[in-house]
Chain A
Amino acid sequence: GENVEQHPSTLSVQEGDSAVIKCTYSDSASNYFPWYKQELGKRPQLIIDIRSNVGEKKDQRIAVTLNKTAKHFSLHITETQPEDSAVYFCAALGERDDKIIFGKGTRLHILP
């Protein structure tokens, strides 16, 4: 079955700097890769996603890149702000079944 690895587990960046979180997946049949943000004590919420026929997608300060050959995808946050502090999860979903498999999460700290 699908396995999603996520790095790093914790990331601290200065406010205004960029943050990058990386994920790898194992199932070459996976073709949808969402990213979720979870604030303390709240439920995960989708922030951006990418499908396998696209290499990059941007939405204001966040972007996701996908390398299907290497089975890598990454989340990029530019001009980080205090409200970006949260736990971020990557995930993968394939065509063969309906499982959404998540990485273990990255706790992002934005330092003042």
Chain B
Amino acid sequence: NAGVTQTPKFQVLKTGQSMTLQCAQDMNHNSMYWYRQDPGMGLRLIYYSASEGTTDKGEVPNGYNVSRLNKREFSLRLESAAPSQTSVYFCASTQHGSYTEAFFGQGTRLTVV
């Protein structure tokens, strides 16, 4: 099994450009998450989805939108990228209510210039 797969792995954007980060999991998990990781700030929750068709804001949702396309896929969109969104982005998934391991994707390193 592939687990959690994110694309792309690296991306450079110009300020104002838009892009979508893709995430897919093959573990039949119902909960999926997007985090950003910045030096000294840990993993901050952007948005999460407890099940297909539902999404909720996390700690730092401003400037982002998400789509839970189906049970497998959860995408993160930057409509107008800003330098403050330069970060490493991680997607994760787990089984809602089971209190078991959250599996992470390999991360996307995004630079906005």
A interface residues, Cβ below 8 angstroms from B: 1, 6, 9, 31-32, 34, 42-46, 49, 51, 89, 93, 97-105
Contact = CB atoms under 8 A, between A and B. Distances in A.
A102 B41 CA distance: 10
The residue in A9, A43, A45, A104 that gathers the most chain B C-beta atoms within 10 A of its C-beta is A43
A99 B90 contact: no
Given A43-B104, A46-B102, A49-B101, A98 B43 contact: no
A1 B45 CA distance: 12
A-B complex: 5 closest residue pairs judged by Cβ atoms: A104-B42, A43-B104, A102-B43, A98-B50, A32-B99
Interface of B: 31, 33, 35, 40-45, 48, 50, 56, 58-59, 90, 92, 94, 96, 99, 101-102, 104-107
A46 B103 CA distance: 8
Contacts, number: 55
B79 to A, nearest CB: 23
B42 A102 contact: yes
Contact of B58 (A32, A42, A43, A99): A99
28 contacts: A6-B42, A31-B99, A34-B101, A34-B102, A42-B106, A43-B90, A43-B107, A44-B43, A44-B90, A44-B104, A49-B101, A89-B43, A93-B99, A97-B56, A98-B48, A98-B50, A98-B56, A99-B48, A99-B56, A99-B58, A100-B33, A100-B48, A101-B45, A101-B59, A102-B35, A102-B44, A102-B45, A105-B42
